[in-house]
Structure 1
Amino acid sequence: MNKNIKFALVFTFLLAFFGGKINAQVKSGDLVDGIAVVVGNEIILESDIEDQANFSKQQGAAIANKCEFVEGIISNKLLIYEAKRDTLIENRSAVIKDNANQKYTQILGQFPDEKTMLATYKFRTSFEMKNAIEKIDSDNYYGQMKYGRITEKADVTPNEVTDFFTTFQYQLPEVKDEVTLSQISIFPKLTDSHKDEVIGRLNKIKQAILGGETFESQARIYSEDPGSASNGGLYKAISKGKMVKPFEAAALNLQEGEMSDPVESDFGYHLIQLVKKSGKIYDARHILLKAEPNAAEIATAKKELDSIRTLINDGKMTFKEAAFRFSDDKKTKFNGGVLTAEDGSDKLEKLNLSPTIAYQIAGLNKGDITEVFQDKVQQDRKVVTFVKINDVIAAHKLDITTDYDRIKQMALNKKKNEMVEKWVKEKLPNIFISINDRYKDCKFKTDWRKSAETK
């Protein structure tokens, strides 16, 4: 397929494009660490390339050619270099560093111990791995922000979409089997006695802290938040609006060092300690006890949801009305319960559905509604739900009559890539770029030798 119609953005430094088996235009074998590429004042070490490739390989990414891989890094580094000089792009270094620590903790939770994790990702120390995550996230952020600034006015007309389809119709990919689905979900509610039991446990922890135990130690022992428990419950550089409203309201009403009473949120019950506050940014520790419903509470929720399903089947209420009135899923209740993919499309590949939903809709047809079933959502929170099959779409070649929105997005991506390629060529003569001789045999698509290095 022509490179201009690929879904991938020009900055292929994104995590999804990093690792995998790196074959050779460059000779295989261990490379001595050193500077691989310099773009302006941005330096890429050989160890950075290898660390990021190893990290991404464990995330399931793959790339076949190291020269293409390195050129993607160069293109993205140019965007990053210019992004950091762009006064309209926010410097988020502190937040990125804190998020990298949280990601490290989350990944660690998937392994029996830290040594196993580091060996799997091929890092020697936790510092090296955290540093690699931070570099990836930082480059990803600045690359995307600059890409967005360059392409923010990009648009395509209907004629351009038609021309794109006419030109590339025989190269467009085949769409796999898909469905469009709607769902109504509710979270089982805890009984008053169950709530009192959880709150009582938190109050005992609070009394232990007031009696001399540190908040940090109690968070490590008791908190059920996998993202912060091992870090003593600490979240740093929290910006307003990032946390759920009950958490944020409680935290910002505290004085530095003060501790809250138990606070209820969608995730459970929290003890919160404000560590530091500066303007709209704050650091806080918390201890979370999840509001985990028991079997009786789940059964009650299923009975309630089944009565809603009956109203829909009897024609007394539309699915859209029921979703708006009863669903606890904030992402879908305002659009009739319709599930969407990451790109915003309502067409979902069957192969990418969760195992639970795939099992529940197996054998059903357009218009059918599943029975009520139990599922899990964010942070393993239990939910009961049922799903309606709005449409079933068989695998087919992309066609403008049935897939206009997809083809339009591909045409728009092509135009955006061309805008960035033009921008790179215009910037190239004024930016110093140096590439190590070990890549001299690479056949790059852009002539990086036209940079300021040769002037």
Structure 2
Amino acid sequence: MLKKLAIPALFLFMASAGFAQEKVVADKIAGIVGDKIILKSELATAIADMIRNNGGQEVKGVDECTILDNMLIQKALVLQAEKDSLPVTDEEVEAEVDQKIRYFIQLYGGKDAFEQIAQRTVYQAKMDFMQPIREQRLAEAMRRKVVQDVTVTPTEVKEYFDKIPADKRIFYESEMQLDQVIIYPKASRDIEQLAIADLNEYKKQIESGQRTFESLARLYSDDPGTKEKGGTIELSRSDNKTFDPVFFSTAFRLKEGQVSPVVKSKFGYHIIQMVSRNGDDAVVRHILRIPQITQAEIDETTKQLDTIRTALVNGQIQFGQAIALYGDESQKSTAGQVMNPRTGSTFLTISDMDKDMVLLLKDANLKPGEVSKPHVFSDDRNKKGVRIVKMLSKSEPHRENLRDDYDRIAARALEQKRSAALEKWFLSKIPTFYIMIDGEYRSCPNLAKWEIGPATAGN
């Protein structure tokens, strides 16, 4: 059955863009769909990159036959999308190109390392990525168009589930859905002034040449993600929604080498230095100081949350109102619901939770509908906060069944039906495309659907 591209799209992007960490074989056409060409070097690059990203081991079930099949499928979807004039804007493509480039820069440890490995500048790499990412967008748009009207009925969901052997049905650990209200205690003004004074002293030492920004960042910054890199961060104008707005706007107002005054973000206080800038891209350094919280502030916040909990338990306010009144922006964006960092869903197992949440639930032993007492915790930046948690639902460990897991079973049944619809559409379209596949791949069993014959196959 024809499915979505089985090979991770990132590797196909890398292959299509010619991005590789080692030299590959000389170019030769492996296949053509319409006017879309696939080179043998692209297959070799995709294989090499997958092996490299799999710790030097071959990826089971993935070979040139598999990759070529997936690339041919994508080219066919792109071709039809272009015929149907499906919209993909330059802005969409450029935003995704920037995101991919930032991923690689982070993966390889910086812009210089990326350019050395890619053997091209960031600008050249961006140009290389434009066409494959545009094609990926077009392929996705065409796939959505083909399956947009496909739905499943409850009867179809049951029929799908009944076909799964009892011993093959998924076993779920205990899963929970949780709401939380978090309040971060605020440091006293005296402690804040001390952090500001420290940063002003660092700025003075940097500007006088006594110390370097990097050495001070390594010694004193409270940002664990950049501390060991001398405070270095790579920014792009397109990142404006992912960074604190005060930090972001301050950084882009600086000239190269300039150190900012002390600025306050949602994380604490910073000084920022512009290292280099190229159009909408910049490299900056920063030193973060987080004013330390004392037990007095923690106790005050705990008391505040205890009052909020009492109002919730007594029905004086609803949890959503508590989030709106007291939660920060990150909580408001999810209506206070705790999200699974691994799957992005609202269902969490114990292994998906931070250690402080595990301790809270162990001590509180909450039942669905109950709200915990305030609990002190440390977030991933080691910032102390206080939270209360409401248990929305809790399942016992169980083998998958229709009563408890209908939505997840229905989602898989829908995906299977969409795959069948896509296969039917695709097989009906193959005869309308010009297809050429090099003779080297004629023995690939998964390419039989392309109906390779003497008139279409290569030598």
* Residue of structure 1 equivalent to 2:143: 151
> How big is the shift at 1:336?
4.5
Residue 205 (structure 2) aligned to one of 205, 208, 212: 208
* Residue of structure 1 equivalent to 2:50: 52
Using the alignment, how far apart are the partners of 1:129 and 1:53 within structure 2?
20
Letter in 1 for 2:286: I
Using the alignment, how far apart are the partners of 2:75 and 2:182 within structure 1?
42
Asked whether 1:366 is paired with 2:364, we answer no
Asked whether 1:71 is paired with 2:74, we answer no
Give the direction of change, closer, same or farther, for the CA distance of 1:432–1:422 in structure 2 (3 Å limit). Answer: farther
Asked whether 1:12 is paired with 2:14, we answer no
Using the alignment, how far apart are the partners of 1:244 and 1:435 within structure 2?
55
Contact 1:178–1:393 under 8 Å retained in 2: yes
Using the alignment, how far apart are the partners of 1:186 and 1:291 within structure 2?
16
Residues 326-354 of structure 1, C-alpha deviations (whole Å, 9 max, x = no match): 123x3433654222446664333455334
Contact 2:368–2:391 under 8 Å retained in 1: yes
Using the alignment, how far apart are the partners of 2:135 and 2:171 within structure 1?
29
Give the direction of change, closer, same or farther, for the CA distance of 1:169–1:332 in structure 2 (3 Å limit). Answer: same
* Residue of structure 2 equivalent to 1:286: 285
Contact 2:180–2:388 under 8 Å retained in 1: yes
SS in 2 for 1:322: helix
Asked whether 1:310 is paired with 2:310, we answer yes
> How big is the shift at 1:250?
1.8
> How big is the shift at 1:54?
4.5
After the TM superposition, which residues 244-393 of structure 1 pair with which residues of structure 2 at under 5 Å, given as runs? 244-255=244-255, 257-274=257-274, 275-276=276-277, 278=279, 281-291=280-290, 293-296=292-295, 297-328=297-328, 330-333=329-332, 336-341=335-340, 345-362=345-362, 363-393=365-395
After the TM superposition, which residues 216-227 of structure 1 pair with which residues of structure 2 at under 5 Å, given as runs? 218-219=216-217, 222-223=220-221, 224=223, 226-227=225-226
Residues 193-239 of structure 1, C-alpha deviations (whole Å, 9 max, x = no match): 22222222221221123223555565555543525852762414341
Residue 98 (structure 1) aligned to one of 94, 97, 102: 102
> How big is the shift at 1:78?
5.8
* Residue of structure 1 equivalent to 2:17: none
Give the direction of change, closer, same or farther, for the CA distance of 1:277–1:258 in structure 2 (3 Å limit). Answer: farther
* Residue of structure 2 equivalent to 1:117: none
Letter in 2 for 1:55: N
Using the alignment, how far apart are the partners of 1:351 and 1:138 within structure 2?
39
After the TM superposition, which residues 12-31 of structure 1 pair with which residues of structure 2 at under 5 Å, given as runs? 12-13=7-8
Asked whether 1:397 is paired with 2:403, we answer no
Using the alignment, how far apart are the partners of 1:202 and 1:83 within structure 2?
53
Q: Which runs of 5+ in 1 are unaligned?
A: 17-31, 107-113, 115-125
> How big is the shift at 1:167?
3.5
Residues 25-68 of structure 1, C-alpha deviations (whole Å, 9 max, x = no match): xxxxxxx974799562553364752543342459xx9964334x
Q: Which runs of 5+ in 2 are unaligned?
A: 12-22, 32-36
Aligned length: 406
The TM-score, its normalising length taken from structure 1, stands at 0.70
Contact 2:176–2:392 under 8 Å retained in 1: yes
After the TM superposition, which residues 91-240 of structure 1 pair with which residues of structure 2 at under 5 Å, given as runs? 91=94, 92-105=96-109, 127=117, 145-153=137-145, 154-156=147-149, 160-162=152-154, 164-171=156-163, 173-174=169-170, 176=172, 177-212=174-209, 215=213, 218-219=216-217, 222-223=220-221, 224=223, 226-227=225-226, 230=229, 233-239=232-238, 240=240
Give the direction of change, closer, same or farther, for the CA distance of 1:220–1:360 in structure 2 (3 Å limit). Answer: closer
> How big is the shift at 1:263?
1.6
> How big is the shift at 1:413?
2.8
SS in 2 for 1:367: coil
For the pair shown, the structure with the greater C-alpha radius of gyration is 2
Residues 95-121 of structure 1, C-alpha deviations (whole Å, 9 max, x = no match): 533332223449xxxxxxx9xxxxxxx
Residues 271-307 of structure 1, C-alpha deviations (whole Å, 9 max, x = no match): 22344363xx241413131416345244443333233
Query: What is the percentage of aligned positions where both structures have the same residue?
Result: 21
